[in-house]
Structures are given as structure tokens and as C-alpha cells.
Structure 1
Amino acid sequence: MIAVWRSIWREPRPADAPPAGRVDRLLAAAFAIAVLVEGLIRPGPGWQSLVTVLALAVVPALLWRRSRPLTACLIGFGVAGLLSVLQWATASADLGPSSMMAVLILLYSLVRWGSGREIALGLAFVVVVVALSLYVAAAGLGDITGGILLLMLIAALAAVFRYRADLWQRQEREIRNQERLALARELHDIVAHHVSAIAVQAQAGGVVAAAQPKQAAGILAAIESEASRTLAEMRDMVRVLREDTWAAAIPHTGIADLPALARTDATPTVEVSLAGSLTRLSRPVDAAIYRLAQEALTNAIRHASGATRVEIAVCRAGEGVRLRVADDGQAHSSPGAVSGFGLTGMAERAQLLGGTLSAGPGPDGGWVVEAVLPVRGPA
């Protein structure tokens, strides 16, 4: 029990408490009208006007019930306590207007939007006021039981809505974290691919610089182009990460962009072939095929020893789409067995979409990466 109270005491205020809106203003206005009407038509002693004025003090509390739930609860139940004291001092039968039942809304607001300390302090105050009211009214066992159950029901209802809101926020944070992880993978793939291309071009430039200056100039231009594209795509990714609206703003690449990876003017050469109906793929699957091919190509360029040719083939396989990336290098070690996402990240990407990925030495040598993804993504 002590541990439970400690956890409640330390619990922060929820972040979803909106400021007073139209509903709260309408509620406060309706309460004020009800108090005034009841004060005019309800028969009572000469201090009935004082009761009405005290009841109207609850109006600001209804406006603050979300932003300052503890203050609102103290005001509302403080007025109810003053009315009980006035009733006891004057030996009156009943001074509290029926509209004062609105203070129960403040109890709900306290549990729904208050911090742990605010809830503990507010509930203690509410218990004292309710006990005073029951004592002054000389309530019987049935009234006491009903009143306690009503308060517990309101507090429990507020706790349920608070828990649901907190659960929804945690789910949103989890989704956002998954989206950021996906963006991190996209950024890794983009940078690794372009930097590998830059490195290959730079190595070729160093070889031909002395013998073929004109060709070296073309290689330098290709390096500049790759570097510019890398910077541009990195800026796009960073901007999307900052805006938290990546789903709409992220540049979409897919199978249709694979032919751009082909090249014949460098070693290894890259050939791209597309076969079958590759349209109407879900957007995640379309993008994943491109990124898997890009990552496998990057690994082959960087790690396939002696490779002169890399083939990227994509075809329709029943209700799935198959990607195969093969090189003709020496398969004594696993391309991509480096720090970063590598083959692990590729396998995770495929599994998230309900597909499979395998990598290993090919039957005729070299290294082969194969992935099969469902056309519509995970069920």
C-alpha cells in the first residue's frame, strides 16, 4: 500500500490536458444560470443570497478544471464545505443548492488531469469535506454508503480514461520510434550507397589521373554529383525527422528507380532486370525492395573481393515479389558483415513486412542475397 501511494505521489500530470475550451465555458455558464434560477425560485431564509454568491464562486473552478485541477477541486469542495458549516451554524435543514452537484465534475477532473501529488492532496480534502457534509446532514448508513460508492465510481471512471489516454500516448510514441528507426535505416542505406560509389570513383580516378586526364575529370564530376545527391537526401531526411511528418514528406523510391543503379563505366558493372507484373505493390514493399537492393549492392561493391559484375533481378513470384542480388566475387566471407545494419538490418526490414531474406555463397561462386516479400505487405 505504501508503494502504491508513493507511485501515485510521484506520478506527473498528464500531457494531454487541454486548456479551457468551448465545452468548459458552456458548462460554467449553464452552472451559473442554474444557481441563479435556483436562488430566485427556491424558498429559504434571508441568507439565501449568500448561498447563491458562494455557489457562484465555483464558476471559475469549472474553467480551471483541466489546467489547474487541484485548485479547481479545492475551490469547489471548499464552497461545499462552507455551505455545510453554514448549515450546521444556522441549524438549517438544507442550504446547498442542487446545482452544487457540479463539484463532482471537479473530482473527475482532479483524477483525470492532476499529478500524483495533486490527486493525493485533493482526495484527502474531498474526504474531509464529504465526511463533514454527511455529519451535518446526519446521514444514515444507506446515504453514507451511496455517497462513498458514487465518489469511488467517479474517481474510477476518471482513472480509466486517464489510463486509456496514457496507453494511447505510449502507442503513439512507439509508432513514432518505429518510424524514426525506419528513417534511420533509410538514411544509412542512402549514405552507405552513395559514399561507396564515391569511394569507387575516387579509386578509379587515382588510377587514370596521370594517364587519362580527361577521363579523370569525368570521374571527379561523378564524385561531385554523388556527393551533392548524398547531401541533398541527408538534408531531406533530417528535415523530416525534425518535422515529425515523415510519412507524407519522405521521398519515395521504389522498384521503378532500380534501373538508376545500373552502371557499365566502372568495376564492378551493375545490371538490373525487372520481370513480371511489378505494379500495385504496397508502398512499404515497393520501397523495401529498392532499399534491400541498394544495401546488397553497396555490400557487394565494398566487400565482394574481385567482383567484376553484380546482377540485380526482381520478378513476381505468385503473391510475392522476389529480389535477387548476385555478384561474381570470391565468397570466402560474408559481404555486409560490418558494423551498422548490414545483413541484420536487411533481414529485419524483410521480416517486418512479412517476408524472408537469405544470404550466402552462390552455387557458381560469388555472393547471393535473395528476399521475398508479400505484394500487399504483412497481413
Structure 2
Amino acid sequence: MTRPAYAAQVAIDAVRSLWVEPRPTNPPARGPWDWALVGAFLCWSAVEVVLRQNLAPFPLLVLGTLGLLGSLLWRRSQPLLAVAVGFGTLVIVDVARILTGSQGALLNSTSAALVLTFALLRWGSGREAAGGLGVILLWLPITTVATPTSAADTVGAYGFFLSAAALGAASRYRARVRIRDIDQARARERVQLARELHDTVAHHVSGIAIQAQAGRAVAASHPEHAIEALATIEDAATRTLTELRAIVGVLRTSQPTEFAPQPGVAEVEQLADRGPTRPCVEVLLGGELGDLSPAVGAAIYRLAQESITNARRHARHVTRVTVAVTGDAEQVRLTVEDDGSLGPISRSPHGYGLVGMRERATLLGGTFHAGPTAGRGWKVEANLPRAGTPR
């Protein structure tokens, strides 16, 4: 395709896109400020009638003023109808002036037509905007004939109306961008909330399920172990309820919320579990782990927490989970390995847990990998920059 043909196709596509453009949703309802606007223009018109000379016949002034100002009340709900009524009335007035040979001028309050032009591009659909602009372009040469002006004044009048139309289109585009940004922010919030629920609540619930199975298995032969399992279940359930209440409280409140500090690398040690129930979780910390970015520390903790949860839920015959966190001058590395087998249902790399883990690492400029080891078990590796620089 040649360059002129490509440019023509782009122009055609742009016009077609504008033609099918729908109306913006939820336009503001008519309110006191709309009546105040009409009242202000009416007062301006009354002052002009009293003070100005060489005006058009009074009946034409009344017809033009009432038709134009009355249409302002429907400029958002029915923009094309408002333009058709307002500018159609002006066309009738100017044609009457031409036919009667009246040399009088119209009121300066007809500048309210600029408000209609703005509203047409701001609130009208693509078809309405095209039709309304056609009505405006029909009136402009007629009013030029009815009120002869210099070429500079004529060009200025066209410029004013084009500027009002451009301002309306720009305001429409800005509102659309704002709505899109709000939708994207809401989507990010939903993803973040889903990730937090999965990483925190799911971890505790998985621990409750494991402890309940272990307690039932040893209840007959070792009642004391069953009692320990019940105590662990109670503690995990209490933590889960506390976190759920905190999350629900944040979602329901409209006031600023006091947030507790996020867990970091130091809290990873609390994930260790060497109790009678399986699997045994060992935590090893080494290297330079001080002065980490809070976001990196929280990500390391959540990644380790989710990896342990996955091992408990999906690995068969797992007896040991090893969590190792090491740091150097540039990055922090997390490695989580277990000795379980995959079983009939493998830990697919496309699950929500792994997706959330990969998102956490990527958002901080790090790397993430999870998969089966060469022998038996599953391995998770994450490398994060110490400062947590986003990509």
C-alpha cells in the first residue's frame, strides 16, 4: 500500500470510529447551575436590550433568545436536539432579517451558542456530533450574510466555534482516560486482594486441614498428639479470622486505615515447623539480609509462605520442606525445596498460586521459576533485587 493510500485509509478509519462513537455514560442531570446559567444569559440579554442601539426587531430578538437559551437546559441529555433547536432558531431569525432587510444586530448573549457547541462534542454520540456540526456550519454563513462583517471577523467567528468544539472533544477524551485509569486501578486492587487472600488465608486453611488429618490419624494411639494438633488448629483458625476481619475492615471503611507492618525476611523463620505432623519445615537464613526494601522483604515472606502451602496441598508423601533465604550486595535469593512426589495431579505452573508468585517477583524486577527437580520433589526459586526496582 502506498503512503497516500495508507494515509487515506487511516483517515477513513478515524472517521468511521468517530461515527460509531457512543454517547458518554451518566451525563450530569439538570441542576440549579443550569438554571442559573440560563438566568445569567437572560439578564445579560435584558441589559443589552435596554442599553444597546441598532438592534434587530424586538420580536426576532425574543425568538432568538428564548430558543437559544431554552435549549441550554437539554444540552447534556439531548445534545443534538438542543443544537437543532438553538441554532435552528438562529437560522430562522437570520433568514427573517435577510428577507426583511433589517440591518439591526443580534444580542451578544447569542454567545451561548458556544456552550451548545461544547456540549455537542462533550456529550453527543458520533452521529449526533456530525449532525450538529452540520447545523452549525449551515448557520455560520447565513448569519454572516445577515450581519455583514469583515473577513477577519468571519474567520474569528469560525475559529471560536471550532475552538469550542475542540474543547468539548478534549474534555470528552480526558473523562474517558480518567474512567479507564479508574477501571485499571480497580482491576489492580482486585488482583492484589486476590493475591493477599490466596497467600495468607489459604496458607492458614491448608495448615488447618493438614493438622486435622494428622490429629485424626493419631487420636486413637497418641491422644496427646491429637491435643497438640487441635491447639495448632485453634491458633491457625484464630489467625485466619483476624486476617479476614482486617481485610473486610479495610474494604468496608471509608476512613484512613491504620495498617499493620507487612511481614519481612525476619518473619520467615516463623514458618518453620518441626512438630510431630508432616511435613517438617526448616528455614535457613544467610548472607546480607539487613536493610532490605520493605516490599522485597514482604515478597520473600509471601513467596516462602505460598511455597510451603503448595507443598502441603499438592505434594504426596512429603516429609521435609527446606526454605533457604540468602542475600548479597545486589539481590536476595529464595529457594524452597520439598521431597514429595507430584502424584496423579501435578502442580501445574498455571495455577493461581504460582501466577501470583510470579507476579510478585516480576513487579519488583526479579525472576521466578518453579518446577520439578531432577530427582524427587519440587523446587521454587526467586531472585529479587535488594531495592525492589520495578520493571
TM range (shorter): 0.7 to 0.9
Query: 1: distance between equivalents of 2:342 and 2:260?
Result: 34
Tell me the equivalent position of 2:125. Answer: 115
Between 85-94 and 54-63, report the one with greater CA deviation.
Answer: 54-63
Pair 1:81-2:82 in alignment: no
Superposed CA deviations along residues 177-202 of structure 1, whole A, max 9, x for unmatched, are 23322222222333432332123112
User: 1:264 aligns to what SS in structure 2?
Assistant: coil
Tell me how large the CA RMSD over aligned residues is.
4.2
Counterpart of 2:305, as a letter, is Q
Count of aligned pairs: 377
Tell me the equivalent position of 2:3. Answer: none
Counterpart of 1:321, as a letter, is V
Pair 1:130-2:140 in alignment: yes
Query: 2: distance between equivalents of 1:289 and 1:339?
Result: 20
Residue in structure 2 matching 1:321, options 332, 337, 348: 332
Pair 1:348-2:359 in alignment: yes
Residue in structure 1 matching 2:278, options 267, 270, 277: 267
What's the offset of the Cα at 1:162? 1.9
Q: TM-score, normalized by length of structure 2?
A: 0.76
On the 8 A contact 2:56/2:104 being kept in 1, the answer is: no
Pair 1:69-2:79 in alignment: yes
Query: 2: distance between equivalents of 1:247 and 1:270?
Result: 38
Tell me the equivalent position of 1:90. Answer: 100
Counterpart of 2:302, as a letter, is R
Pair 1:55-2:65 in alignment: yes
Tell me the equivalent position of 1:13. Answer: 23
Counterpart of 1:152, as a letter, is L
Query: 1: distance between equivalents of 2:322 and 2:52?
Result: 90
Tell me the equivalent position of 1:190. Answer: 200
Query: 2: distance between equivalents of 1:78 and 1:296?
Result: 71
For 1:152-301, what aligned pairs fall within 5 Å after superposition?
152-223=162-233, 225-227=235-237, 229-230=239-240, 233=243, 253-255=262-264, 257-265=267-275, 266-274=277-285, 276-279=288-291, 281-283=293-295, 285-301=296-312
User: 1:357 aligns to what SS in structure 2?
Assistant: strand
Query: 2: distance between equivalents of 1:227 and 1:9?
Result: 58
On the 8 A contact 1:278/1:315 being kept in 2, the answer is: no
Query: 2: distance between equivalents of 1:26 and 1:157?
Result: 22
On the 8 A contact 1:80/1:96 being kept in 2, the answer is: no
Query: 1: distance between equivalents of 2:314 and 2:175?
Result: 49
In structure 2, list runs of 5 or more residues that go unmatched. Answer: 1-10
Superposed CA deviations along residues 278-321 of structure 1, whole A, max 9, x for unmatched, are 456244x3432222111111122234454433233445432433
Query: 1: distance between equivalents of 2:32 and 2:283?
Result: 60
Query: 2: distance between equivalents of 1:377 and 1:3?
Result: 40
Counterpart of 1:109, as a letter, is A
Q: TM-score, normalized by length of structure 1?
A: 0.78
Query: 2: distance between equivalents of 1:246 and 1:340?
Result: 35
On the 8 A contact 2:55/2:107 being kept in 1, the answer is: no
In structure 1, list runs of 5 or more residues that go unmatched. Answer: none
On the 8 A contact 1:300/1:335 being kept in 2, the answer is: no
Residue in structure 2 matching 1:103, options 102, 110, 113: 113
In the superposition, relative to structure 1, how do residues 82 and 268 fare at CA in structure 2: closer, same or farther (>3 Å)?
A: same
- Give % identity: 43
In the superposition, relative to structure 1, how do residues 354 and 73 fare at CA in structure 2: closer, same or farther (>3 Å)?
A: same
Query: 2: distance between equivalents of 1:298 and 1:64?
Result: 60
What's the offset of the Cα at 1:214? 4.2
Tell me the equivalent position of 1:378. Answer: 390
User: 1:294 aligns to what SS in structure 2?
Assistant: helix
Counterpart of 1:337, as a letter, is S
In the superposition, relative to structure 1, how do residues 102 and 345 fare at CA in structure 2: closer, same or farther (>3 Å)?
A: same
Query: 2: distance between equivalents of 1:346 and 1:49?
Result: 75
Tell me the equivalent position of 2:321. Answer: 310
Between 173-182 and 152-161, report the one with greater CA deviation.
Answer: 152-161
